[in-house]
Amino acid sequence: MIKNLLFFLFQMILFTILLTINYFVDQHVSSPYDSGDLFGIGEMLLLFIPLALIAEKVYKRFTKIRFFHKLLLSIPALAAAVLITGFALGQVQFA
């Protein structure tokens, strides 16, 4: 049970980081692509590669959780990450 909670929290943090990086990089990368866009894509890769390496190490702890349970935990983690990112960036507001 505690491993499921830790997996959920890890997924939520990972999704929040990925959404935040995508939000800021997406503002600078647009079609038609030029050298500035390539620089933005390079920055994004420099941020994603260490994140992927860390995620790979952490995911080894969760090998005993079944794939179906991981999938069921990842969906609400993504929804929570979207809300957290939206509130943090001011994109989601209460009326």
Q: What is the mean pLDDT of each run of 10 residues along the chain (95 residues)?
A: 92 93 79 79 86 89 91 96 92 78
* Full residue range of the structural domain in which residue 57 is found: 2-29+36-87
First to last CA, the chain: 37
Give the pLDDT of residue 7. Answer: 94
Residue 53, domain member (yes or no): yes
Residue 74, domain member (yes or no): yes
Residue 23, domain member (yes or no): yes
Give the pLDDT of residue 31. Answer: 73
Give the pLDDT of residue 35. Answer: 80
Burial, 1: exposed, middle or buried (Cβ in 10 Å; 0-12, 13-18, 19+)? Answer: exposed
Alpha helices in 27-66 (DSSP H): 35-59
Structural domain total, the chain: 1
The whole model's pTM is what? 0.81
